[in-house]
Amino acid sequence: MGFALSIVYFVTYYLSPPTLFGPLAVAHVQVIIAALVMLISLPKLARSSIGKTPQAVALVGLSFTVGVSSLVAVHWAAGAVQAFLGFIPNAFGYFLVCLYCDSMKKLKILILSILLVCLFVIVRGSVEISQESPDAVAATPNGASDYAIAQVNDNGEVILRLRGQGNINDPNDFAQLIACTIPLIFIFWRPKRSLLNVICVILPLCAMLAGAFLTHSRGGILALLGILLVAARRRIGTVPAALLAGGLLAGALALHFTGGRAISASAGEDRTMLWGEGLGMLKAHPLFGVGYGNMISLADNTAHNSIVVCAAELGSFGLYFWALFLYPTMRNVLVIASPEKVSEGKPIEVEVGFFPVERVENEYIDRADLIRMGRLLVLSLAGFLVTAWFLSRAFVLTLFLLGGMVEVVFEMGLQRGMIAPRLPMPKVLLNSGVLALALVTAMYIMLRTLNLMH
């Protein structure tokens, strides 16, 4: 039952309660689902070792910092509670994936659910965009319809950009979800099954690429090219892969993939100004930042960079805990994606079947399947990190879902004796601090460099 409710929780998060439940949404169905899942999860969480992972420690630290940052910055206890309640639904995703998506079959169902969410939005949005006039949508009070938003491009033309509902109601958010989901579709690829591969992989892939095009997201196109670069460099080398990605970028711009919005240092001058303001906030409030979600009210905009927004809003403590989630996630996924670090394993007992009938079976995971899943997750995380560099999406559910998937696959290999044990916690804590410092330093150097170019 916990697995089924978890899937409903994730789908509701992305599609929004009104889309799924219609008039029943006023009854706070999403809150009820979250409460039920939490209640059911408590016994399993008490028996699980998930609380000992660095990622779990990081999320507890982030939750604490989110509340304290608002309390310290604005001296408003109610605001601290509000910030905490705004963050928890996202972080909750990591624990749900680790607790309930603990087999390959369940991971595939989770991926399929996210894919169907994307396809639903793409179909609905495509129909709207084909029927709506950009000028008519722009003339509405909020300049948007249900699945499209009007925006003026660099040529002064009004374009429509595909978006979702709920937590993906920004075209960039939806483009990020598409970029992270595209590599995971290949989990359904089967050798020598041409028809099945066309139906289950090629056609959905084409639809997802069409959806990415309709978002006209510059971060989205860069994320797709980043995924291609990481995937291709293993086969053809870094330099040829970079040349291929550069050629495809030129082709995408020629085909107006970004809707007439330029990708250049000068085009992003306003963003670099916001990065400077964000780093200035970190300097003025080094410990707990200016408060969770407060940068947009102080700078009249968000930072358009996940590192900067995390550092500005949560200070050094928040950035450290964010790095503490990111570092072991990246380290673990690189381990399971490396053939030389994965050996053959033995089957173990796992829960299979779904509510109301669940049973225990032996699950054997082939070494090649574990490595392939690791490589797909590497590509998915690459897509997230590229978009995160241009978007303020440090605390979204998508990151914690991917982190949970990595942890589940890593634990599968660990339990079957296929990979080496985790790094000791003290080493992870130290390396995460180094990563947090490196991220801020990299942002500062990049900002100074871009300022010299303007």
The whole-number pLDDT of residue 41 equals 75
pLDDT in tens, 52-92: 889 999 999 999 999 888 888 777 777 788 888 888 888 88
Whether 99 and 40 have beta carbons less than 8 Å apart is answered as: no
Mean pLDDT is lowest, of 89-93, 136-140, 278-282, 383-387, for 136-140
pLDDT in tens, 330-342: 999 999 999 888 8
Measured CA to CA, the distance from residue 136 to residue 150 in angstroms comes to 9
Mean pLDDT is lowest, of 273-277, 326-330, 359-363, 448-452, for 359-363
Give phi and psi for 364, each to the nearest 5.
Answer: -105, 135
How would residue 352 be classed by pLDDT, with cut points 50, 70 and 90?
low
How would residue 454 be classed by pLDDT, with cut points 50, 70 and 90?
low
pLDDT at 359 over 70: no
pLDDT at 355 over 50: no
Average pLDDT for 424-447: 92
Q: Quote the mean pLDDT of the chain.
A: 85
Measured CA to CA, the distance from residue 204 to residue 4 in angstroms comes to 24
Rounded to a whole number of angstroms, the distance between the first and last alpha carbons of the chain is: 56
Q: What angle do CA 417, 402, 367 make, to 5 degrees?
A: 30
- Of 377, 364, 383, 375, the C-alpha closest to 341 is 375
pLDDT in tens, 166-181: 889 889 999 999 999 9
Mean pLDDT is lowest, of 43-47, 383-387, 439-443, for 43-47
pLDDT in tens, 89-146: 888 899 899 988 888 899 999 999 999 999 999 999 999 998 888 888 888 888 888 8
Name which residue leads in pLDDT, 454 or 272. 272
How would residue 357 be classed by pLDDT, with cut points 50, 70 and 90?
very low
How would residue 317 be classed by pLDDT, with cut points 50, 70 and 90?
very high
The whole-number pLDDT of residue 392 equals 82
The whole-number pLDDT of residue 36 equals 82
The structure's pTM equals: 0.88
Whether 163 and 148 have beta carbons less than 8 Å apart is answered as: yes
Average pLDDT for 405-420: 89
Name which residue leads in pLDDT, 250 or 226. 226
The whole-number pLDDT of residue 402 equals 95
Measured CA to CA, the distance from residue 450 to residue 427 in angstroms comes to 34
Please give, one letter per residue, the 3-state secondary structure of the chain: CHHHHHHHHHHHHHHCHHHHHHHHHHHCHHHHHHHHHHHHHHHHHHHCCHHHCHHHHHHHHHHHHHHHHHHHHHCCHHHHHHHHHHHHHHHHHHHHHHHHCCCHHHHHHHHHHHHHHHHHHHHHHHHHHHHCCHHHHHCCCCCECCCEEEEECCCCCEEEEECCCHHHCCHHHHHHHHHHHHHHHHHHCCCCCHHHHHHHHHHHHHHHHHHHHHHCCHHHHHHHHHHHHHHHHHHHCHHHHHHHHHHHHHHHHHCCCCCCCCCCCCCCHHHHHHHHHHHHHHHHCCCCCCCCCCHHHHHCCCCCCHHHHHHHHHHHHHHHHHHHHHHHHHHHHHHHCCHHHCCCCCCEEEEECCCCCCEEEEECCCHHHHHHHHHHHHHHHHHHHHHHHHCCCCCCHHHHHHHHHHHHHHHHHHHCCCCCCCCCHHHHHHHHHHHHHHHHHHHHHHHHHHHHHC
